[in-house]
Amino acid sequence: MNTRVKRLALPLGGAIAATSMIGATLVTSANAAAAPAKKTVSLASASEAKKISNYWTANGGANLKAATQYTEDSQVSGKVKLGGGDAAPDGKAGVVPPIGQEKVTPTKVKNVNLPKTIGKVFFTVGDKEYWCSASSIQSKYHNLVSTAGHCVFDEGIQNGALDNWVFIPGYYQGKAPWGIYVGKAAYTHYDFAVYEDFDSDYAFVTVYNGIAVGGEKEVTKKTYDAWNGEKYSHDVEITEKEYNKLKDEYGPDAPVFVKDAGTEKVVPWDSKDGQIAEKEVTKDEYAAAPDADKPVNFHKSPKPPKEEIVDEETYNKYSGPGYKQIKDHAYTITHYYVEYKVQKTPSLKYYKTIYVIRYFKDAGRLGDNVGGQGFTWNQKIGQPVYIFGYPAAPHPDGDQAFTGYTPKWCYGKTFAAKPAAAFKAEAQIGLKCSMTAGSSGGPWLLKYSSTKRLGYVNGVTSLIGDADANGRIDFSTSPYFDSETYAIYKSAANLWSGSIVAKDGSLVTKA
């Protein structure tokens, strides 16, 4: 796999330009759009989803906690001239209402309530874990996520999609309050998937029903070995009485063992209660030791040095006291031993192995649990929107203003962003915003109601930049959502996913 981390900061060509606000009223009639060239990839079959779920849930969610924001910082310097790109409607404006709503009326409040729909998408690139921002969005089966295209697709991967892809709404430090949703299939514009044209840097991903940990149960070793889901074992100290009881009950299959935790002390060779012990030494230490017939401690062992022939890899890795030598093109290691006497004080400790399986429960459909934002396209530029996301990276000047633990927001009027040739971006919209990397894929919500925590997705964070070259990120951009965006969204919004949790609480293993 030869993938790379995307560069998500705009170069000097990125511009920040404000236009006057142009009011635009959402309409409920969808315009007919010519079918765009879309790119569809399968992210996971049901059996693959099981493995992906285990990848993120194992070891207390260690891989989730290890993930970092998906970005490669590039510092922008020099002033950027104001100017507009080619973002514009290609037809009639349209709207799809949020889940459970006929329409949403925006509210102005002092304290903004964060959407319940937002969260992080996690995935891997090679052997490293990353995350982006994303949101649940309206769909027929309440199973759709919107995010940036570069948080799902990479033309350098065999099937064009990032690995181990999941969405976790409300994620916070390893916690998944509404479950983990494994991606099933992803949709974007062909121009982004193949040519990395950031004018189409968006993706819509169908997800399976969420999974949540249902609980843990201590089981027999036979059940443990047969369990296909997540499991672990650990040893606990027990009394000798408990040990004997288990041995009587289970015989040789008893999950118990004994350790000698006693101590030993070196004693003179002529000690009557001493026991002979042996240890390996270097060739020089062996040569300096008395012969085997000398009645002193640490004399040569009566058995001769042992020479073994090994392969080249074992030879090179070996770092013990044995003497390494290449003889007649053979790799050899010779081991030398000395004898001495010790006095042992035995202390037996008894242990039992505990076998535990972790079982899951079906957390239900994403949209039923957290709702889903509406969707809108061909809106006039200049309207006020909210951007939500999880910024984490420092500003170009090194200031670490965000942690990535909690979502943040920006608010303002959109403008036509200046073309950014490095990203083939000629028709994006922008917003003044200080959110740094980590916010990629976060929703741009038009007509957001802080009371209902719902609005209409009108974009997703694609690029960020520093317009005045003062070392601070000060604007974000999004692809302009037009009729082609709607057509791709509509293709994804009508597909069913289903559950990946079996009746016994394991995750299914067959597609």
Domain boundaries, the chain: 38-209+365-493, 215-260+348-358, 263-345
Q: What is the pLDDT of residues 399-413, one digit of tens each?
A: 999 999 999 999 999
Q: What is the pLDDT of residue 84?
A: 65
Residue 53's DSSP bridge partners are none
**At residue 28, does pLDDT exceed 50?**
no
CATH 2.40.10.10 holds for 38-209+365-493 = yes
Task: Quote the CA–CA distance of 485 and 37 in Å, as a whole number.
Answer: 11
Q: What is the pLDDT of residues 151-197, one digit of tens each?
A: 999 877 666 889 999 999 999 877 889 999 999 999 999 999 888 88
Q: What is the pLDDT of residue 173?
A: 74
Q: What is the pLDDT of residues 360-406, one digit of tens each?
A: 889 999 999 999 999 999 999 999 999 999 999 999 889 999 999 99
Alpha-carbon torsion, ordered 245, 248, 250, 255, to 10 deg: 50
Alpha-carbon torsion, ordered 264, 265, 271, 274, to 10 deg: 10
Q: What does pLDDT average to over the chain?
A: 85
Look at 15-24, 196-205, 239-248 and tell me which has the smallest mean pLDDT. 15-24
62, two tokens: 């260690």
**At residue 424, does pLDDT exceed 80?**
yes
- Please spell the DSSP secondary structure of 312-381, one letter per residue: HHHHHH--SSSEEEEETTEEEEEEEEEEEEEEEE--EEEEEEEEEEEEEEEEE-HHHHH--BEEEESPPT
Q: What is the pLDDT of residue 34?
A: 52
Q: What is the pLDDT of residues 463-502, one digit of tens each?
A: 998 888 888 998 999 999 999 999 999 999 999 999 988 7
Q: What is the pLDDT of residue 16?
A: 31
Model confidence at 420, in pLDDT bands (50, 70, 90)? Answer: confident
Q: What is the pLDDT of residue 339?
A: 94
C-alpha distances (whole Å) from 143 to each of 83, 95, 286, 376, 498 are: 39, 19, 71, 18, 9
Task: Quote the CA–CA distance of 511 and 500 in Å, as a whole number.
Answer: 9
Gyration radius of the chain's alpha carbons: 32
**At residue 507, does pLDDT exceed 60?**
yes
Most confident listed range (20-24, 231-235, 451-455): 451-455
- Rounded average pLDDT over 47-70: 87
Percent of the chain predicted with pLDDT > 70: 88
The residue type found at 471 is G
Q: What is the pLDDT of residue 158?
A: 60
- Rounded average pLDDT over 69-77: 51
Contact 92, 25 (CB under 8 A): no
